[in-house]
C-alpha cells in the first residue's frame, strides 16, 4: 500500500521539531544578524546548540542500535524540513554534526564507542564534522591519472601523520576554532606499501581527529586560515583549515585505505536526502511569504493573488514544494531498503538532491517575480530566502560536478534498470 500518513514516531519527530523551531529558531536570525563578524555570528549560536543537545536533536541523529534515538532517514528528513522552514544557519550547524557522525555510524565497531560518547550524553555542545572538500575542489577526486586528494596521511609507528588543507566542512573548527570534538577527515594514504598503479580509491581513508589529538600535537598542527564570508547561511562555520604534521593515534583509523571511498559515498547519499528536505523547507518558507504578500491588493481592487499571473507563480511554487517532499521521502525510504543492487537504492537520493535544490532556487526567483521590486527590500524575506536557496545546488556535492555525473554514470552502466526505483 502507498501511504503518506506519518507514523506515531514520525509525528512525534515533526511535533518536537516544530516546538524547537518555534521556541529557539524563530528569533535566531534577528539576533545573529546584528553581529558583523561571520565567525562571531557562528559562535553566538552555541547556547542555542546546547538547547538542541538537551532536546535530543544530536542523539536523535544517531541510530538507535548504537545508542542514539534515530529510527531512520525518513524521520531525519521530517526534522530537517520543519527546522529549515523556520531558520537555516543554526539548523545546519545541528545537522552538520549529524553528517559529521555519519561515517562513524556507518563504520561503527564497539572499539569506536569512545568517539561517539560525547554525542550521546545529552549535555554540552559537542560538534562533529565530515571533512572532505578541499580548496582546489573534489569533483574529480577518484579520477584515474588525476592528482586526487591533496590532504594526505602516512603511518609512522603507532600514529598517523596528517597534512593538507580543507575547506567548507561545516563545524570542523569547533566553537573556539581549535577543532571540533570529532572530525572525520577524508584523506589519501601515502604509505609506500600501496602499489603505485593502484586506483585512487585504494588510497582513500578516514581518520577521526579529536580536540585532544590537536591539543597534544601542539601549536601549528591545526590552523584556521580563513573564515569565508558568504551570502547566505550567514552564521554557519566551514572555514579553510590546515593540518601540519598532525599526529593521530592509530586507533583513530575509522576506514583503512581502500575502505574510505565507499563510506564517503554512502554518507553523502544519506545527506543528499537531507538536502532535499532543506530544499522543501525553504520552499515552504518561500510559499508562505509569497502567499501572505498576495493577500494585499497592492493598489488594485482585489488581492493580487486573484490575478492569474500571480496565482500561476504561487501554484508552481506550491507544486514544486509538494513534489520535493514526496521525492525526498521516497528517496529516504529506498536508501534504507534491502534491494540487492545498491545502485537501485541510491538513485533517488541523487535525484532528490538535484531536483529539490534546483527547485528551491526556481521557487525563490518566482516569488521575487511575483512580488516585484519590493522583493529586493531587505525588510522582506525574499532576498534572504534566495541567498539560502542558492547554495543548495552547489554544496554537499555540487549538482553539476558531482551529483549529475553520478546519475550519468548510473544511467549508462551495464544492466541499468530505469524503473527499479519504483517497482522493485
Beta bridge partners of 160: 155, 248
Quick one: which H or E segment has residue 160?
A: strand 159-166
Q: Kindly state the cell numbers that stand for 26.
A: 524563530
352 contacts 276 by C-beta, under 8 angstroms: yes
Residues 22 and 84: their CA atoms lie apart, in Å, by: 12
Residues 239 and 228: their CA atoms lie apart, in Å, by: 6
331 contacts 352 by C-beta, under 8 angstroms: yes
Interaxial angle between packed helices 260-294 and 73-84, expressed in degrees from 0 to 180 and rounded to the nearest 10: 40
Write down the residue that cell numbers 515533526 correspond to: 14
**How many CB atoms within 10 Å of residue 83?**
26
Residues 324 and 347: their CA atoms lie apart, in Å, by: 15
Beta bridge partners of 247: 161
Q: Kindly state the cell numbers that stand for 414.
A: 551495464
Residues 388 and 383: their CA atoms lie apart, in Å, by: 9
**How many CB atoms within 10 Å of residue 213?**
22
Catalytic residues: 396
Q: Residue 258: which residues within 8 A CB-CB, separation 6 or more?
A: 201, 202, 203, 204, 205
Length of the chain equals 424
242 contacts 203 by C-beta, under 8 angstroms: no
Amino acid at each position: 500500500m502507498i501511504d503518506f500518513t506519518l507514523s506515531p514516531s514520525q509525528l512525534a519527530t515533526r511535533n518536537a521539531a516544530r516546538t524547537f523551531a518555534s521556541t529557539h529558531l524563530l528569533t535566531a536570525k534577528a539576533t545573529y544578524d546584528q553581529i558583523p563578524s561571520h565567525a562571531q555570528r557562528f559562535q553566538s549560536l552555541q547556547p542555542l546548540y546546547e538547547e538542541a543537545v538537551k532536546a535530543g536533536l544530536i542523539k536523535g541523529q544517531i541510530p538507535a542500535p548504537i545508542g542514539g534515538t534515530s529510527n531512520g532517514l525518513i524521520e531525519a528528513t521530517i526534522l530537517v524540513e520543519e527546522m529549515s522552514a523556520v531558520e537555516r544557519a543554526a539548523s545546519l550547524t545541528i545537522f552538520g554534526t549529524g553528517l559529521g557522525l555519519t561515517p562513524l555510524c556507518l563504520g561503527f565497531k564497539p572499539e569506536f564507542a569512545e568517539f561517539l560518547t560525547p554525542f550521546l550524553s545529552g549535555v554540552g555542545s559537542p560538534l562533529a564534522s565530515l571533512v572532505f572538500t578541499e580548496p582546489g575542489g573534489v569533483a574529480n577526486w577518484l579520477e584515474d591519472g588525476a592528482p586526487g586528494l591533496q590532504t594526505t596521511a602516512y603511518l609512522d609507528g603507532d600514529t598517523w601523520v596528517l597534512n593538507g588543507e580543507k575547506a567548507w566542512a561545516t563545524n570542523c573548527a569547533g566553537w573556539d576554532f581549535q577543532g571540533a570534538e570529532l572530525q572525520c577527515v577524508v584523506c589519501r594514504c601515502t604509505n609506500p606499501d600501496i602499489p603505485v598503479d593502484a586506483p585512487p580509491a585504494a588510497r582513500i581513508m578516514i581518520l577521526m581527529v579529536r580536540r585532544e589529538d590537536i591539543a597534544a600535537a601542539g601549536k601549528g598542527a591545526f590552523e584556521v586560515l580563513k573564515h569565508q564570508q558568504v551570502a547566505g547561511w550567514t552564521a554557519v562555520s566551514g572555514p579553510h583549515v590546515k593540518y601540519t604534521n598532525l599526529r593521530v593515534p592509530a586507533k583513530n583509523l575509522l576506514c583503512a585505505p581502500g575502505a574510505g571511498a565507499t563510506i564517503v559515498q554512502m554518507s553523502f547519499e544519506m545527506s543528499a536526502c537531507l538536502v532535499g528536505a532543506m530544499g522543501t523547507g525553504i520552499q515552504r518558507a518561500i510559499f508562505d511569504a509569497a502567499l501572505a504578500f498576495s493577500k494585499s491588493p497592492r493598489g488594485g481592487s482585489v488581492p493580487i493573488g486573484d490575478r492569474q499571473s500571480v496565482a500561476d507563480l504561487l501554484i508552481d511554487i506550491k507544486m514544486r514544494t509538494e513534489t520535493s517532499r514526496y521525492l525526498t521521502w521516497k528517496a529516504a525510504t529506498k536508501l534504507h531498503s534491502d534491494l540487492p543492487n545498491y545502485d537501485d537504492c541510491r538513485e533517488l537520493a541523487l535525484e532528490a538532491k538535484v531536483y529539490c535544490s534546483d527547485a528551491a532556487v526556481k521557487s525563490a526567483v518566482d516569488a521575487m517575480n511575483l512580488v516585484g521590486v519590493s522583493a529586493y527590500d531587505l525588510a522582506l524575506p525574499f532576498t534572504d530566502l534566495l541567498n539560502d536557496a542558492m547554495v543548495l545546488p552547489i554544496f554537499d556535492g555540487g549538482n553539476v560536478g558531482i551529483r549529475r555525473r553520478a546519475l550519468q554514470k548510473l544511467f549508462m552502466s551495464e544492466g541499468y534498470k530505469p524503473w527499479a526505483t519504483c517497482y522493485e
